[in-house]
Structure 1
Amino acid sequence: MARPGYEADRFSLVLRPWPEGQPKILTGGWDRSVEEFTWSGDGKTIYAAADDIGRLSLFAVDVATGAARELIRGGAIHDVQRVGDRLLFLRNDLAHPDEIYTAGLDGKAEPLSHVNDAKVAAADVGVAEQFSFPGHKNETVYGWVVRPPGLAEGAKAPVAFLIHGGPQGSFSDRWSYRWNPQTYAGAGYAVVMIDFHGSTGYGQAFTDAIQDDWGGAPLVDLQKGLAAALARYPWLDGDRVCALGASYGGFMVNWIAGQWQAPFRCLVNHDGVFDNRMMYYATEELWFPEWEHRGPYWQFTKQHEAHNPANYVDRWRLPMLVIHGGKDYRIPETQGIATFTALQRRGVPSRFLYFPDENHWVLKPANSKVWHDNVLAWLDTWLRAPAAAK
Structure 2
Amino acid sequence: MTDGLLYRHWDTWKEGKFNHLFIADVETGTFRDLTPGERHDFPPFPWGGSGDYSFSPDGKKICVAAKMVEMEAISTNTDLFLIDVATGNMTKLTDNEAADESPSYSPDGRYIAYRTQRVPGFESDRWRLALYDTKKGTHRILTEGFDRWVEDYTWSRDGKYIYFAAVDNGNKGLFKLDTASGKIKKILGKGTSSSLAVTPDGKTIVFVRRSFDFPHSIWKISTSGKHLARLSHFNDAVISRLDLNSAEDIRYKGADGATIQAFLIKPPHFDSHKRYPAIVLVHGGPQSAFIDAWYTNWNAQVFAAAGYIIFIPNFHGSDGFGQDFINEISGDWGGKCYIDIMKGFDYLASLPFVDAKRIGAAGASYGGYMIDWIEGHTDRFACLISMAGPYNLVSEYGTTEELWFPEWEFRGTPYENPMEYERWSPSNFVSNFKTPCMVVVGERDYRVPFSEGLQMFTALQRMGITSRLVYFPDEGHWILKLQNVKFYYEQFIGWMDRFLKR
In the TM superposition, residue 19 of structure 1 has moved relative to its aligned partner by: 3.1
Report Cα offsets for 1:267-326 as digits up to 9, x if no partner.
000111110110111111211111111111101111111111011000101000011011
What amino acid does structure 2 have at the position aligned with 1:93? S
Q: What is the aligned partner in structure 2 of residue 127 from structure 1?
A: 246
Contact between 2:376 and 2:426, CA under 8 Å: does it hold in 1?
yes
Q: What is the aligned partner in structure 1 of residue 164 from structure 2?
A: 48
Q: What is the aligned partner in structure 1 of residue 435 from structure 2?
A: 318
Q: What is the aligned partner in structure 2 of residue 328 from structure 1?
A: 445
What amino acid does structure 1 have at the position aligned with 2:251? S
Of 318-327 and 4-13, deviating more is 4-13
What is the aligned counterpart of 1:15 among 109, 120, 131? 131
In the TM superposition, residue 157 of structure 1 has moved relative to its aligned partner by: 1.2
In the TM superposition, residue 127 of structure 1 has moved relative to its aligned partner by: 3.0
Contact between 1:167 and 1:198, CA under 8 Å: does it hold in 2?
yes
- Kindly indicate whether residue 378 of structure 2 is the aligned counterpart of residue 260 of structure 1: yes
Q: Match of 1:127, SS?
A: coil
Task: Find the aligned partners of 1:120 and 1:239 in 2 and give their Cα distance.
Answer: 33
Task: Find the aligned partners of 1:80 and 1:187 in 2 and give their Cα distance.
Answer: 35
What amino acid does structure 2 have at the position aligned with 1:106? S
What amino acid does structure 2 have at the position aligned with 1:228? Y
Task: Find the aligned partners of 2:121 and 2:474 in 1 and give their Cα distance.
Answer: 29
Instruction: Trace 1:163-174 onto structure 2 (pairs within 5 A).
Output: 163-174=282-293
Q: Match of 1:48, SS?
A: strand
Task: Find the aligned partners of 1:162 and 1:105 in 2 and give their Cα distance.
Answer: 35
Task: Find the aligned partners of 1:126 and 1:71 in 2 and give their Cα distance.
Answer: 25
What is the aligned counterpart of 2:313 among 194, 197, 206? 194
What is the aligned counterpart of 2:474 among 357, 360, 368? 357
Task: Find the aligned partners of 1:236 and 1:296 in 2 and give their Cα distance.
Answer: 43
Which stretches in structure 2 are left out of the alignment for 5+ residues? 1-116
Contact between 2:297 and 2:489, CA under 8 Å: does it hold in 1?
no
Q: What is the aligned partner in structure 2 of residue 388 from structure 1?
A: none
Q: What is the aligned partner in structure 2 of residue 104 from structure 1?
A: 222
Structure having the higher Rg: 2
Contact between 1:268 and 1:321, CA under 8 Å: does it hold in 2?
yes
With the length of structure 2 as denominator, give the TM-score of the two structures.
0.75
Q: What is the aligned partner in structure 2 of residue 294 from structure 1?
A: 411
- Kindly indicate whether residue 431 of structure 2 is the aligned counterpart of residue 308 of structure 1: no
Instruction: Trace 1:1-390 onto structure 2 (pairs within 5 A).
Output: 1-83=117-199, 84=201, 85-108=203-226, 109-231=228-350, 233-262=351-380, 264-385=381-502
Contact between 1:126 and 1:186, CA under 8 Å: does it hold in 2?
no
With the length of structure 1 as denominator, give the TM-score of the two structures.
0.96
Report Cα offsets for 1:102-154 as digits up to 9, x if no partner.
11122121111112122112123233101011211111110000000112230
Of 145-154 and 344-353, deviating more is 145-154
Q: Match of 2:349, SS?
A: helix
Report Cα offsets for 1:26-77 as digits up to 9, x if no partner.
1001101101111122222111100000000001112122221211113001
Task: Find the aligned partners of 2:207 and 2:289 in 1 and give their Cα distance.
Answer: 21
Aligned-CA RMSD value: 1.1
What amino acid does structure 2 have at the position aligned with 1:76? T
Q: What is the aligned partner in structure 1 of residue 108 from structure 2?
A: none
Task: Find the aligned partners of 2:216 and 2:487 in 1 and give their Cα distance.
Answer: 24
Of 221-230 and 293-302, deviating more is 221-230
Task: Find the aligned partners of 1:278 and 1:111 in 2 and give their Cα distance.
Answer: 48
Q: Match of 2:355, SS?
A: strand
Task: Find the aligned partners of 1:145 and 1:60 in 2 and give their Cα distance.
Answer: 30
Task: Find the aligned partners of 1:79 and 1:254 in 2 and give their Cα distance.
Answer: 35
Of 126-135 and 319-328, deviating more is 126-135
Task: Find the aligned partners of 1:230 and 1:282 in 2 and give their Cα distance.
Answer: 39
Q: What is the aligned partner in structure 1 of residue 14 from structure 2?
A: none
Higher helix share: 1
Identity %, equivalent residues: 40
Which stretches in structure 1 are left out of the alignment for 5+ residues? 386-390
